[in-house]
Amino acid sequence: MDMDGRGAVLVTGGSGFVGSHLVRRLLERGYRVRATVRSTGDTAKVAPLRAMQEDFPGALELFEADLLADGSFDTAMSGCRVVFHVASPFLMPEKIKDGRRDMVDPALLGTRNVLAGVERTPTVEKVVLTSTVGAIFGDYVDVRSMDGGVLSEKYFNTTSTVENNPYHYAKTLAEREAWATEAAQDRWRLVCVNPGLVLGPSLTPASRSGSLFLLDELFKGYFFYGAPDFSFTTADVREVADAHIAAAEHDGAKGRYIVAAETMTSFHDMARIVRGRHPRAPRLPRTRLPHWPVRILGPAFGLTQDYIRKHLGIRFRVDNSRSVRELGITYRPVEETVLDHYESWRRRA
C-alpha cells in the first residue's frame, strides 16, 4: 500500500505505551495521524501527544472514544485508509477484580465496536490489530506440543479462560472475532501483530496499565534473595511500533506476525543486564532461586501450584522469522531494551 502523504490513519489507544510510540513513528514518517484517547481532559496522560502536536504542527488530531460505546470511533475514523487498533486494557493479574468486566468486555466489545466503525467507513483499506503472543499460547507448557516445541503463528490459544489468565483469553477472543469479521467481507484486510512482553523506553507518564511496571517487583527488590526461574518472550516497544507500520505499508503483509526476540529472557538475565550498567543498583538479585522454594512459597505471593507447574523453568524458542522476512524488522539486543526500560522506570518510580 503506497501511504505517502495520502489519507489519514487512525491509532486507537494513542496515549498508551505502544500507541504513543506508534503515533510518534507515524508522524516522523510524514503521516497525518488521528489518535483516540479515553479523555482529552486527562492532561497528564495526553501530555506526550500534546507535545507531538507541537513538534508536528497540523499533523496530529486527538479524539475521545470509549471502547465500550458503539459508534464512538466513527468520527475519528472518517476518511482514514488505515486503522491501527491498539487500545486494549492491560492490567497486572492482581489488579483484575472481574475478568469479564475488566478484560474480556473491553478487548472483545472494543474490537467489535472498532470493526463496526470500519464497516461504516468506506475509505478504510487495512486494519492492523495489536494482539499478543498470549493469543497463540495460554501457558508456557502449551508450547511444548507445538512443532519442535517452537512458538509460531500457526497456533491459537485454546487453554486460557476468563478465570485462568483472563488477559490472554480476552486477547484471543478479540483476535478471533477480528478474523471472523474480516472473512465476512472483501473491502478491507486485517493484519495482526502479536508481540511478546513489551519493554523499552516509555513516552507516557506512569499509568495504571502496568506495562512499564511489569518489572516493578524485580527492580524494587522483591526478589533480592534470588530470582525465580521465570522467563519471558520480550519485544522492544520500538520494534512493535515499526511492525505495525510495516504491516500497513507492505501489500504482501498478511496474517499474524510474532514480534518477539528469538530467545526468552529470565528475571535473572534482566537483573544481570541492569547490574552490568548499574553495579550499585540496589536490591537486584545476584543469584537464581532453586525451584523448590518457589514451589513452596509461590502461593504466598499469589502464584498457584498450577501456574508454577506450567511456567517455572520452562523456556522455548520463538520463530520470529515472518516479522524479519516480511516486515523487515531488525531486532535490537535485549540488553538495550532492558536497560532503556530500567532507565524509564527509574525516572518515574
Distance CA 207, CA 156 (A): 30
Q: At what angle do helices 43-55 and 17-28 cross, to 10 degrees?
A: 10
In this model, does residue 21 exceed pLDDT 90? yes
Identify the bridge partners of residue 10 per DSSP, sorted by sequence position. 34, 83
Bridge-based pairing of strands 265-266 and 231-232 is antiparallel
Strand, coil or helix: 290: coil
Q: Of 34-48, 173-187, 201-215, where does mean pLDDT reach its minimum? A: 201-215
Q: Residue 153 in contact with residue 243, Cβ under 8 Å? A: no
Confidence of residue 299 (pLDDT cuts 50, 70, 90): confident
Give the mean model confidence (pLDDT) for residues 298-324.
Answer: 93
- Mean pLDDT over 16-26 rounds to 95
Averaged over 288-298, what is the pLDDT? 92
| Residue 226, number of CB atoms within 10 A of its CB | 17
Q: 343, 282 in Cβ contact below 8 A?
A: no
Q: How confident is the model at residue 24 (pLDDT cuts 50, 70, 90)?
A: very high
Confidence of residue 1 (pLDDT cuts 50, 70, 90): very low
Residue 26 has pLDDT above 90, yes or no: yes
Q: Measure the CA–CA gap between 211 and 242, rounded to whole angstroms.
A: 18
Question: Which residue in 252, 108, 241, 246 sits closest to 189, CA to CA?
Answer: 252
Which value, to the nearest 10 degrees, does the dihedral of the CA atoms of residues 285, 287, 293, 297 take?
Answer: 10
C-alpha cell, 164: 485462568
Distance (Å, whole) CA 294 – CA 291: 5
Class of the CATH domain delimited by 8-348: alpha beta
pLDDT at 305 over 70: yes
pLDDT 10s digits, 123-179: 999 999 999 999 999 999 999 999 999 999 999 999 999 888 888 999 999 999 999
Cα dihedral 194, 262, 229, 99 in deg (nearest 10): 0
HEC per residue, 45-96: HHHHHHHHHHHCCCCEEEEECCCCCCCCCHHHHCCEEEEEECCCCCCCHHHC
Between 42 and 21, residue with greater pLDDT: 21
d(CA 123, CA 2): 14
Beta strand segments in the chain, E = 8-12, 33-37, 60-64, 80-85, 126-130, 150-151, 189-195, 197-199, 231-232, 234-236, 255-259, 265-266, 317-318
CA dist 287 and 29 (Å) reads 44
- Rounded Cα distance between 345 and 212, Å, is 7
Closest CA to 158 of 143, 136, 178, 179: 136
For residue 3, pLDDT beyond 60? no
Q: Is the pTM of this model over 0.85?
A: yes
Asked if residue 13 lies in contact with residue 20, where contact means CB atoms within 8 angstroms, the answer is no
| Confidence check: pLDDT of 2 > 50 | no
Looking at every residue in the chain, the average pLDDT score rounds to: 91
In this prediction, residue 91 carries a pLDDT of 59
Q: Answer whether residue 349 shows pLDDT above 80.
A: no
* Residue range 88-97, pLDDT digits in tens: 766 556 666 7
User: What is the per-residue pLDDT for 87?
Assistant: 87
